[in-house]
Amino acid sequence: MHTEPRPIEHQQADAKQLESSFKVACSNCNLRELCLPIGLSSNEMQQLDGMVATRKKIKQGGHLYSSGDAFTMLYAIRTGFFKTCVVSEDGREQVTGFQMAGEIMGLDGIVSDKHNCNAIALEDAEVCVMPFNHVEDLSRQIPMLQRHVHKIMSREIVRENGVMMLLANMRAEERLAAFLLNLLQRLHARGYSKSELILRMTREEIGSYLGMKLETVSRTFSKFSEEGIIEVKQKNIRILDHDKLKAIFNASTC
Protein backbone atom coordinates (compact mmCIF):
# COMPACT_ATOMS: atom_id res chain seq x y z
CA MET A 1 0.00 0.00 0.00
CA HIS A 2 1.13 3.54 -0.69
CA THR A 3 3.95 2.22 -2.81
CA GLU A 4 3.19 4.31 -5.86
CA PRO A 5 6.46 5.77 -7.10
CA ARG A 6 6.80 9.45 -6.27
CA PRO A 7 10.19 10.27 -7.73
CA ILE A 8 9.74 14.02 -7.60
CA GLU A 9 9.02 14.04 -3.92
CA HIS A 10 11.94 11.72 -3.29
CA GLN A 11 14.24 14.09 -5.02
CA GLN A 12 12.93 16.91 -2.95
CA ALA A 13 13.46 14.91 0.18
CA ASP A 14 17.03 14.11 -0.79
CA ALA A 15 17.77 17.72 -1.61
CA LYS A 16 16.31 18.88 1.66
CA GLN A 17 18.28 16.35 3.58
CA LEU A 18 21.54 17.51 2.10
CA GLU A 19 20.80 21.16 2.35
CA SER A 20 19.77 21.02 5.97
CA SER A 21 21.96 18.28 7.34
CA PHE A 22 22.48 20.20 10.56
CA LYS A 23 19.30 22.21 10.71
CA VAL A 24 17.36 19.04 11.32
CA ALA A 25 19.78 17.60 13.85
CA CYS A 26 18.48 16.63 17.27
CA SER A 27 20.81 19.19 18.80
CA ASN A 28 18.89 21.81 16.94
CA CYS A 29 15.40 20.41 16.88
CA ASN A 30 12.74 22.47 18.53
CA LEU A 31 11.22 19.31 19.93
CA ARG A 32 14.32 18.36 21.86
CA GLU A 33 12.68 19.00 25.21
CA LEU A 34 9.90 16.56 24.40
CA CYS A 35 11.70 13.96 22.40
CA LEU A 36 14.58 11.63 23.15
CA PRO A 37 17.47 14.04 23.70
CA ILE A 38 16.11 15.56 26.90
CA GLY A 39 18.67 16.48 29.53
CA LEU A 40 21.80 15.71 27.52
CA SER A 41 24.94 17.79 27.37
CA SER A 42 25.60 19.50 24.07
CA ASN A 43 28.40 17.05 23.56
CA GLU A 44 26.12 14.07 24.04
CA MET A 45 23.50 15.79 21.96
CA GLN A 46 25.85 15.82 19.02
CA GLN A 47 26.58 12.14 19.44
CA LEU A 48 22.85 11.69 19.26
CA ASP A 49 22.49 13.49 15.97
CA GLY A 50 23.77 10.39 14.29
CA MET A 51 20.95 8.38 15.76
CA VAL A 52 18.42 9.57 13.25
CA ALA A 53 19.17 7.63 10.11
CA THR A 54 16.65 9.38 7.92
CA ARG A 55 13.43 11.18 8.08
CA LYS A 56 10.25 10.05 6.48
CA LYS A 57 7.06 11.73 5.40
CA ILE A 58 3.75 10.01 5.78
CA LYS A 59 0.65 11.17 4.01
CA GLN A 60 -2.64 11.39 5.84
CA GLY A 61 -4.05 7.90 6.05
CA GLY A 62 -0.68 6.31 5.35
CA HIS A 63 0.83 3.59 7.51
CA LEU A 64 4.07 4.33 9.31
CA TYR A 65 4.17 0.64 10.09
CA SER A 66 1.69 -2.20 10.21
CA SER A 67 1.02 -5.08 12.51
CA GLY A 68 3.35 -7.93 11.57
CA ASP A 69 6.00 -5.74 9.97
CA ALA A 70 9.55 -6.50 11.00
CA PHE A 71 10.64 -4.21 13.79
CA THR A 72 13.95 -2.44 13.36
CA MET A 73 13.18 1.22 13.89
CA LEU A 74 11.79 3.59 16.41
CA TYR A 75 10.18 6.76 15.20
CA ALA A 76 10.08 10.22 16.72
CA ILE A 77 7.28 12.37 15.43
CA ARG A 78 8.46 15.71 14.07
CA THR A 79 5.14 16.92 12.77
CA GLY A 80 1.70 15.46 12.40
CA PHE A 81 -0.60 13.25 14.36
CA PHE A 82 -0.92 9.47 14.49
CA LYS A 83 -3.13 6.78 15.86
CA THR A 84 -2.02 3.29 16.78
CA CYS A 85 -4.46 0.42 16.71
CA VAL A 86 -4.48 -3.31 17.20
CA VAL A 87 -6.81 -5.60 15.28
CA SER A 88 -8.18 -8.77 16.84
CA GLU A 89 -8.39 -12.06 14.98
CA ASP A 90 -12.03 -11.50 14.19
CA GLY A 91 -11.30 -8.07 12.79
CA ARG A 92 -12.34 -5.77 15.59
CA GLU A 93 -10.15 -2.70 15.67
CA GLN A 94 -9.02 -1.07 18.87
CA VAL A 95 -7.32 2.31 18.87
CA THR A 96 -4.64 2.06 21.55
CA GLY A 97 -3.37 5.61 21.42
CA PHE A 98 -2.99 8.94 19.67
CA GLN A 99 0.50 10.33 19.22
CA MET A 100 1.73 13.83 18.49
CA ALA A 101 4.96 15.74 17.89
CA GLY A 102 7.87 14.69 20.07
CA GLU A 103 6.42 11.33 20.98
CA ILE A 104 8.12 8.04 20.22
CA MET A 105 6.44 5.28 18.26
CA GLY A 106 7.30 1.66 17.65
CA LEU A 107 8.03 0.43 21.18
CA ASP A 108 5.43 -2.31 20.77
CA GLY A 109 7.70 -4.04 18.28
CA ILE A 110 10.68 -4.65 20.55
CA VAL A 111 9.36 -7.70 22.34
CA SER A 112 8.86 -9.91 19.30
CA ASP A 113 10.85 -8.10 16.61
CA LYS A 114 7.54 -7.55 14.89
CA HIS A 115 5.20 -4.67 15.17
CA ASN A 116 2.11 -5.45 17.11
CA CYS A 117 -0.09 -2.63 15.86
CA ASN A 118 -0.77 -0.32 12.96
CA ALA A 119 0.52 3.22 13.12
CA ILE A 120 -1.52 5.46 10.85
CA ALA A 121 -1.09 9.16 10.15
CA LEU A 122 -4.20 11.21 10.87
CA GLU A 123 -2.69 14.13 9.01
CA ASP A 124 0.37 14.57 6.83
CA ALA A 125 3.30 13.86 9.06
CA GLU A 126 7.03 13.59 9.28
CA VAL A 127 9.04 11.36 11.56
CA CYS A 128 12.67 10.82 12.47
CA VAL A 129 13.65 7.24 11.78
CA MET A 130 15.95 5.76 14.40
CA PRO A 131 17.39 2.26 13.96
CA PHE A 132 16.73 0.58 17.27
CA ASN A 133 20.12 -1.08 17.27
CA HIS A 134 21.65 2.31 17.11
CA VAL A 135 19.49 3.57 19.95
CA GLU A 136 20.67 0.65 22.02
CA ASP A 137 24.31 1.23 21.13
CA LEU A 138 24.13 4.86 22.07
CA SER A 139 22.21 4.03 25.23
CA ARG A 140 25.12 1.96 26.40
CA GLN A 141 27.43 4.93 25.89
CA ILE A 142 25.19 7.66 27.26
CA PRO A 143 23.58 6.71 30.59
CA MET A 144 21.31 9.73 30.40
CA LEU A 145 19.94 8.46 27.11
CA GLN A 146 19.57 4.99 28.52
CA ARG A 147 17.57 6.36 31.40
CA HIS A 148 15.44 8.38 29.03
CA VAL A 149 14.61 5.38 26.86
CA HIS A 150 13.54 3.53 29.99
CA LYS A 151 11.41 6.43 31.08
CA ILE A 152 9.67 6.62 27.74
CA MET A 153 8.73 2.97 27.93
CA SER A 154 7.67 3.27 31.54
CA ARG A 155 5.56 6.29 30.69
CA GLU A 156 3.75 4.26 28.09
CA ILE A 157 3.07 1.52 30.63
CA VAL A 158 1.70 4.06 33.09
CA ARG A 159 -0.41 5.71 30.41
CA GLU A 160 -1.97 2.41 29.53
CA ASN A 161 -2.67 1.75 33.20
CA GLY A 162 -4.67 4.94 33.14
CA VAL A 163 -6.57 3.88 30.06
CA MET A 164 -7.42 0.59 31.72
CA MET A 165 -8.86 2.51 34.66
CA LEU A 166 -10.82 4.65 32.27
CA LEU A 167 -12.21 1.75 30.28
CA ALA A 168 -13.04 -0.42 33.25
CA ASN A 169 -14.45 2.09 35.70
CA MET A 170 -15.61 5.27 34.07
CA ARG A 171 -18.81 6.30 32.39
CA ALA A 172 -19.05 7.89 28.98
CA GLU A 173 -18.92 11.49 30.20
CA GLU A 174 -15.93 10.84 32.42
CA ARG A 175 -14.09 9.11 29.61
CA LEU A 176 -14.61 11.91 27.16
CA ALA A 177 -13.66 14.54 29.75
CA ALA A 178 -10.49 12.60 30.54
CA PHE A 179 -9.73 12.33 26.85
CA LEU A 180 -10.14 16.04 26.19
CA LEU A 181 -8.12 17.03 29.25
CA ASN A 182 -5.33 14.70 28.24
CA LEU A 183 -5.19 16.09 24.71
CA LEU A 184 -5.30 19.66 25.99
CA GLN A 185 -2.48 19.05 28.41
CA ARG A 186 -0.26 17.48 25.79
CA LEU A 187 -1.02 20.20 23.26
CA HIS A 188 -0.37 22.84 25.87
CA ALA A 189 3.08 21.34 26.47
CA ARG A 190 3.66 21.98 22.78
CA GLY A 191 2.68 25.60 22.95
CA TYR A 192 -0.95 25.36 21.92
CA SER A 193 -3.89 26.95 23.64
CA LYS A 194 -5.36 25.36 26.74
CA SER A 195 -8.85 26.29 25.66
CA GLU A 196 -9.02 25.25 22.07
CA LEU A 197 -8.13 22.24 20.03
CA ILE A 198 -8.71 20.61 16.70
CA LEU A 199 -9.55 16.95 16.77
CA ARG A 200 -7.50 15.11 14.20
CA MET A 201 -9.50 11.92 14.60
CA THR A 202 -13.08 10.98 13.84
CA ARG A 203 -15.80 10.34 16.39
CA GLU A 204 -15.43 6.68 15.61
CA GLU A 205 -11.72 6.70 16.43
CA ILE A 206 -12.36 8.54 19.66
CA GLY A 207 -15.03 6.00 20.45
CA SER A 208 -12.75 3.08 19.74
CA TYR A 209 -10.09 4.50 22.02
CA LEU A 210 -12.61 5.19 24.79
CA GLY A 211 -14.59 1.99 24.43
CA MET A 212 -17.80 3.56 23.25
CA LYS A 213 -19.74 3.88 20.01
CA LEU A 214 -19.44 6.91 17.80
CA GLU A 215 -23.06 7.84 18.50
CA THR A 216 -22.32 7.98 22.20
CA VAL A 217 -19.28 10.15 21.56
CA SER A 218 -21.42 12.50 19.54
CA ARG A 219 -24.18 12.60 22.12
CA THR A 220 -21.71 13.27 24.90
CA PHE A 221 -20.17 16.13 22.94
CA SER A 222 -23.67 17.52 22.46
CA LYS A 223 -24.41 17.18 26.16
CA PHE A 224 -21.21 19.00 27.14
CA SER A 225 -22.12 21.64 24.61
CA GLU A 226 -25.66 22.10 25.97
CA GLU A 227 -24.23 22.42 29.46
CA GLY A 228 -21.92 25.20 28.33
CA ILE A 229 -18.78 23.23 29.06
CA ILE A 230 -17.45 23.18 25.54
CA GLU A 231 -18.30 24.53 22.13
CA VAL A 232 -18.29 22.01 19.31
CA LYS A 233 -17.89 23.01 15.68
CA GLN A 234 -17.07 19.92 13.75
CA LYS A 235 -13.55 18.99 14.74
CA ASN A 236 -12.97 22.29 16.46
CA ILE A 237 -13.47 22.23 20.20
CA ARG A 238 -13.38 25.25 22.44
CA ILE A 239 -13.22 24.72 26.17
CA LEU A 240 -15.57 27.10 27.95
CA ASP A 241 -15.39 25.66 31.44
CA HIS A 242 -12.16 23.85 32.13
CA ASP A 243 -13.02 23.34 35.81
CA LYS A 244 -16.33 21.69 35.11
CA LEU A 245 -14.56 19.35 32.72
CA LYS A 246 -12.13 18.43 35.46
CA ALA A 247 -14.97 17.94 37.88
CA ILE A 248 -16.65 15.49 35.53
CA PHE A 249 -13.39 13.64 35.11
CA ASN A 250 -12.78 13.29 38.82
CA ALA A 251 -16.27 12.54 39.86
CA SER A 252 -18.14 9.36 40.12
CA THR A 253 -19.82 11.59 42.68
CA CYS A 254 -22.18 13.45 40.39
Partner DNA sequence: ACGGCTACTTGATGCACATCAAATGGATAG
Partner DNA sequence: CTATCCATTTGATGTGCATCAAGTAGCCGT
Residue 140 and residue 78 in contact, taking contact as beta carbons nearer than 8 Å: no
Q: How far is the CB of 252 from DNA (least distance, A)?
A: 8
Per partner kind, with CB cut-offs from 5 to 8 A, the member of DNA, its own copies, none near residue 171 is DNA
CA distance 189 to 88: 34
Residues comprising the chain, all counted: 254
The site string for its own copies over 69-108 (x = CB under 8 A, - otherwise) reads -----------------x-xxx-x-x-x----------xx
Contact between 189 and its own copies (CB under 8 A)? no
The site string for DNA over 186-215 (x = CB under 7 A, - otherwise) reads -------------x--xxx--x---xxxxx
Between 209 and 221, name the residue whose CB sits nearer to its own copies.
209
Residue 107 and residue 156 in contact, taking contact as beta carbons nearer than 8 Å: yes
Q: Identify the residue among 145, 173, 178, 183 touching DNA (CB under 7 A).
A: 173
| Environment class of 128 (CB within 10 Å of its CB; exposed 0-12, middle 13-18, buried 19+) | buried
Q: How far is the CB of 91 from DNA (least distance, A)?
A: 14
Query: Who contacts 188 (Cβ-Cβ below 8 Å, separation ≥6)?
Result: 194
Q: Identify the residue among 15, 53, 70, 153 touching its own copies (CB under 8 A).
A: 153
Question: CA–CA distance from 46 to each of 22, 49, 133, 146 (Å)?
Answer: 10, 5, 18, 16
Contact set with DNA (CB under 7 A): 171-173, 199, 202-204, 207, 211-219, 221-222, 232, 234-235
